[in-house]
With several copies, the nearest count.
Chain A
Amino acid sequence: MLKELHKMGRRGPQVPVSGLEDRPISEILPKEFLREEPLSMPELSEVEVVRHFVNLSNLNYGVDNGFYPLGSCTMKYNPKINEEVAAWFQDIHPALPENRVQPLLELLYTLQQDLLEITGMDAITLQPAAGAHGELTSLLMAKAYFKDHGLLEKDTVIIPDSAHGTNPASATMAGFKVVTVKSDEEGLVDLEQLKALVNDHTAVFMLTNPNTLGKFEKNILGIAQLIHGVGGLMYCDGANLNGMLGWARPGDMGFDFVHLNLHKTFSTPHGGGGPGSGPVAVKKALEPFLPKPVLVKAEDEDGDGSYHWDYDRPRSIGKVRSNFGNILVALKALAYIKSLGGAGLREVGTMAVLNANYMRVAMEDTLPTAYPGLCKHEYVATAEEVKKRYGVKAQDIAKRLLDKGFHAPTMYFPLIVKEALMIEPTETETKENLDAFVQAIKEIVEEAATNPDVVLSAPHDTPVRRLDEVKANKELKVRW
C-alpha cells in the first residue's frame, strides 16, 4: 500500500525551477485563502512509486494477457500503432486558435465522415465521453426535438428487458418514464407486447441491435415503422455494432440516432474503466439538436476546406462536457479505421460473427445457448442445468475459468437468462484460443460433476481468491 511506503521528507521528481527568486507565500496571498490543515500525502521516491504500480499492474489481466470474452464489451486487441500515433497529439491545448489546429480538425472531421458512412447517418458529435454518456446525450436531444415539435406528451422510453442497464438509467436522467418490453421465445423484442405498449406517449424506442443475446432483431424494419407511426424515434445502442460492422447500418434499418463505443467496436483500449468515447450519429431531423460546438467544414471557392467549431446552434442541447470530446481516443479509433478501410471493417464484422457462432456451436453440448440459432458477435449460454444437477453456478464456472488463464464472460446478464454467461470472442482471437476456451468449459463442467468443490471454491491460482463482497458493502472501507 502506497501509504505504508510513505516517509516524511522523501521526494519524487523535482518541481521545475523557475529562474525567479522565491517569495514567501505570505507576501502573495492573505492568510484567509491559505491552507491551514496539514496536507497528508504519501512522500515517496520515484523508484518506490514505479515499483508499486508495476507490481500492481502484474495483478491485472488485460487483453494483452489473454482471451477476454467479456460479453457486450468487445474486448478486441488494441493495436499498438494506435497508441503510438495518438500520443503525438497529447500536448495540444484546446484553446489554441482554430487556424492553428486545422490538421487536427481535419483528422477529426475525417473520423466523423467515416463514422457516418459506417452507421448510415447524416450528422455526428464526438463529444460524449462514453457509451452511457452518448445515450444521455441522445435522449436529451430527443427531449429537445419533441419540445421543438410541440409534442409534449412524448414522455416515455420503451426499452427491451434484455437491454444494458445504462439504457433505463439514461432515460431516467433525461427525464423520461421507462417502460419495459419483454423478449419473445427467440430472444427478440416481443412484437405483440410492443404494439400494445406503443402509443402517443412513446418518445423513443431504445434498441440494442444486435441485442445483448447476440441476436439480430430481424423485425427491425417493422418495429421502426411502428415507432415512427406514432411519431416516436428509434434509438440504436451501438455497443454491439461489431456484430454487423460493414454488413448493415443502423441508418439503413430505421434508426434515427445511434451511439458508438469507440472503445469497443473501434479497438481503443478500455483502460480498466475508461476513457471510452461515445459519439452520437443522427439523421438530418435530429441534427439541429446536436451538442455544440459541432465540427463543420467550410469549402472556399477553390474547394479547399477549412474546419470550424460551430457554436451558432440555436436549437442545440448545449454542451454535455467541457471541450470537444475524448480527442486522443478518437484519434486511436481513426487510426484503427484507416488501418482497415471499408473492406477491412467488413471483415472485422464477418470474423467477429464467425468466431461467436463457432464457439456457440462448439459449446452447445456443454453449456447450451439460452436462445439457440445463429448469433452475431456474442451469445448467452446458461448454466441453469449445471446448477440444478451439481449445484455449480454461473459465477463458479466464471471463477474457475480464471484458474485456467481466461478472463470470465459477463455473468448474470442479460437478466432474462438464468445463470447467464455472455460470451463475446471478438474477431481478433485465433481458432486455437476459442477451442481452448471451449475445452476449459468442458473440463469445468466435468469437474462440476466429479469434483464440484474445486469449482465452488475457485479461483485457486489468482493473486487473491474469492473476495467477500458482502463485507466490502457492509464495512465500506473505501479509503485508507
Chain B
Amino acid sequence: MRYVPHTKEEIKAMLEAVGLRNVDELFSDIPTEALLKRHLQVEGGWDEEQLRAYFRKAASSIPDANSAVYFLGGGVYDHYVPSAVDKIIALPEFYTAYTPYQAEISQGTLQAMFEYQSLICELTGMEVANGSLYDGASAVAEAVLMAMRINGKRRVLVSECVHPDIIEVLRTYQLGQDFEILTLPQKEGVTDLSELEDLSNVSCLVMQNPNYYGFLENMNQASELIHKAGGLFVAAVDPLSLGVLKSPHEYGADVVVGEGQSLGNHMSYGGPHFGFFATKMDYIRYMPGRMAGQTVDVDGRVGYVLTLQTREQHIRREKATSNITSNHWLMALASAVYLSLMGGSLPELGQTILNRSTYLAQKLASVGYPLWQRQYFFKEFPIKARDAEAVQEALADSGYYVGPVIDEHTLLVAVTEKRTKEHMDKLIELMEGLR
C-alpha cells in the first residue's frame, strides 16, 4: 500500500510484540458505539498516473497566468517570481522540516528566519519583525490586538479605504474581544482624515498604503493625528512598493504589517501567502508569533534559536500574546530569497510599476475608462465603466482579466512588472472595442 512500508510478516511480528492478535485489537479502547463499522466512502487508491490525469484535467482548463493575461489586483498580484525562489523553497531540508524546536539541527531555518526578520526591518525601517503570520489581513488583526495589549485602550480607528478583507477579518477577531471599531470614511478614493472628532481612548489607527484602490494616502497626516491622540499608528503596506514609496519609518508608523505575496510568492488562488509584522523594539514582548534570535553554542560558535518563546502559547497558554503556532514560514522564506535576489532592484521595480500603471491608466482614460477618482496611485487603480462585470466577462473571453469589480460601474486594474507594453496595448484595444 502506498507510503506504508510494512510487509505482512512485519505486521504479524509487531502485533505479537505488542501482545495483540490482530489490528482490530489496537482499537479496543474505542467504545463500540464510536467505532466506524464500515470503510470510509472516499474514492481513491489511485496511482500517480491517475492522480496526474485527475489534476491535470482541472489545471489545464483554468486560465492561469501562463495562458491568460492578468491585470487582476485587489491584494493578490501576478508578480514576477524568479526561478531560483521556487527551486530553493523546494529543497527537501527546508520544506519537510517542522518548526525548529531542535535548534542544533535547524540552523538552516533559524538563520534564514533571522535574515528574513532583518530584511523586513530594513524594508520597513522598523526595529524588529517576527517570523511571519498567516496573511496580511490576520496580521492587521494581530497588530490591533497588540496595540490594545500595549496601551490598554479599547477603541480602534480603521480607514474604510483599507482592503475589505482586512476590515472583515478585524470584525471577526473582534467577536472575541471587547473593543470598538470606528471607521474613517473614504472621500474621493482616500481616507477622509478631517472628520475625526472623539479621539479619546483610541488604541490605534489602521491605514493602508497604497490603499485598497491603489491610491496613495496621506500617511504623514494620519500618523501625526493618531500620535497626537496618544494612539499607535498601524500601517498596512505593500512591501514591493517600498523601493519607491515613503517607508513606514519615515511617517512614524508604530506597527507595520502587510501581505507578503508580492515578494516572490505565487498567487495560488489566494493562498498560502504570508503576513509580515514589524514594530519597535519597545513592543517586542507584546508581539505575536515566532522569532529567531542570535546566540552562541557551548563552543562559542554563532547560532540561532527561537527566542522570546515565553510570549507563546505552548508556554503561556491562555496568557500568550497570540494563539499562533504554525505560521507561514516557507512563504516568508520565499520572500527572503526574493529580497536577496531582487532587494537591490526594488527602486527600479517600483519605478517601472509606476511607469507602466500610469501609462495604462492614461490610455484607458483616453478610450473612455477614466479613473474613478483623481488620485495618485501605485500599481493598481479603479476605473469607471458602464457595466463593470460585462467588461470583465468580455475581456475574459479574449484571455484578458481585469478586476476585481468594486461596484457596478467600477473595477480595479493592476499592472505589475510582468505586464508589457504589448499586453497593455492589446488590453486598450480590446477595451476600446467594448465601448
Contact = CB atoms under 8 A, between A and B. Distances in A.
B96 A20 contact: no
Interface stretch (A162-170, A194-202, A226-234, A297-305): A162-170
Given A1-B115, A93-B76, A269 B216 contact: no
Interface stretch (B191-199, B225-233, B344-352): B344-352
Contacts of A95: 72-74, 76, 401, 403-404
A94 B138 contact: no
Nearest to A130: B326
Contacts of B80: 15-16
Given A18-B421, A92-B269, A172-B318, A252 B301 contact: no
> Across chains A and B, which 4 residue pairs bring their CB atoms closest together, nearest first?
A341-B44, A323-B270, A41-B343, A271-B330
Given A23-B355, A60-B94, A173-B323, A29 B295 contact: no
B326 A350 contact: no
Nearest to A120: B36
Given A41-B339, A62-B96, A130 B65 contact: no
A465 B105 contact: no
Contacts of B45: 339-341, 343-344
A319 B170 CA distance: 9
B272 A468 contact: no
Interface stretch (A324-332, A383-391, A444-452): A324-332
A451 to B, nearest CB: 18
Interface in B88-131: 88-109, 111-115, 117-119, 121-123, 125, 127-129, 131
A274 B94 CA distance: 11
Interface string B286-322: 0000111111111101011101101011111111101
A151 interface: no
Interface string A21-54: 0110100111011111101111111111110111
B297 A52 contact: no
Contacts of A1: 111, 115
Contact of A41 (B6, B57, B123, B331): B123
A475 B329 CA distance: 24
A70 B101 contact: yes
Q: Could you say which interface size class chain B belongs to? A: 35 or more
Interface stretch (B200-208, B240-248, B365-373): B240-248
B82 interface: yes
B51 interface: yes
A165 B100 CA distance: 17
Contacts of A171: 318
A62 B92 contact: yes
Interface in B268-286: 268-272, 274, 281, 284
Interface string A231-259: 00000000000001011110011000000
Contact of A353 (B2, B26, B62): B26
A32 B220 contact: yes
30 contacts: A11-B1, A22-B355, A37-B247, A41-B123, A60-B106, A63-B97, A73-B98, A79-B3, A81-B82, A85-B51, A92-B269, A93-B70, A96-B269, A96-B401, A97-B396, A100-B62, A140-B172, A164-B314, A165-B325, A178-B318, A273-B113, A319-B172, A327-B270, A340-B2, A342-B42, A407-B98, A464-B303, A466-B104, A475-B295, A477-B293
B84 interface: yes
A274 B327 contact: yes
Contact of A469 (B94, B216, B305): B305
Kindly name the residue among B35, B176, B403 whose own CB sees the greatest number of chain A CB atoms within 10 A: B176
B84 A467 contact: no
B3 to A, nearest CB: 5
A8 B418 CA distance: 26
A9 B90 CA distance: 29
Contact of B330 (A77, A272, A291, A477): A272
A190 interface: no
A13 B58 contact: no
A30 B2 CA distance: 33
B333 to A, nearest CB: 7
Interface string B183-224: 000000000000000000000000000000000100010000
A41 B346 contact: yes
Nearest to A2: B115
Q: Could you say which interface size class chain A belongs to? A: 35 or more
Contact of B313 (A132, A345, A408): A132
B113 to A, nearest CB: 8
Nearest to A275: B272
Contacts of A176: 176
Nearest to B23: A350
Given A43-B344, A328-B272, A464-B297, A430 B5 contact: yes
A118 interface: yes
A354 interface: yes
B55 A88 contact: yes
A317 B264 CA distance: 32
Given A46-B2, A64-B92, 6 more contacts: A25-B351, A45-B3, A57-B92, A89-B58, A339-B44, A339-B46
A324 B271 contact: yes
Contacts of B64: 89, 91-92
Contacts, number: 758
B340 A49 contact: yes
Contacts of A37: 125, 247, 249-250
A96 B80 CA distance: 18
Kindly name the residue among A45, A47, A272 whose own CB sees the greatest number of chain B CB atoms within 10 A: A272
B18 to A, nearest CB: 5
Interface string B379-408: 000000000000011001000010110000
B21 interface: no
A139 B391 CA distance: 41
B6 A430 contact: yes
B95 A174 contact: no
A84 B330 contact: no
A436 interface: no
A132 B74 contact: no
A360 B67 CA distance: 50
Kindly name the residue among B52, B135, B312, B325 whose own CB sees the greatest number of chain A CB atoms within 10 A: B325
B6 A325 contact: no
A139 B176 contact: yes
A459 B344 CA distance: 38
A95 B171 CA distance: 22
Contacts of B138: 129, 133, 320-322
Interface in A129-171: 129-133, 135-136, 139-140, 143-144, 164-171
Contacts of B259: 322
A63 B269 CA distance: 27
Nearest to B56: A88
B143 interface: no
B153 interface: no
A399 interface: yes
A269 B96 contact: yes
A133 B8 CA distance: 40
Nearest to B177: A175
A429 B106 CA distance: 21
A105 to B, nearest CB: 9
A328 B376 contact: no
A20 B356 contact: yes
A110 to B, nearest CB: 8
Nearest to A252: B34
Nearest to B42: A342
Contacts of A469: 103, 295, 305, 307
Interface string A390-417: 0000000011001000011011010000
A384 B176 CA distance: 40
Nearest to B103: A467
B431 interface: no
A12 B82 contact: yes
Contacts of A354: 6, 11, 14-15, 18, 23, 26
Given A19-B422, A28-B354, A13 B329 contact: no
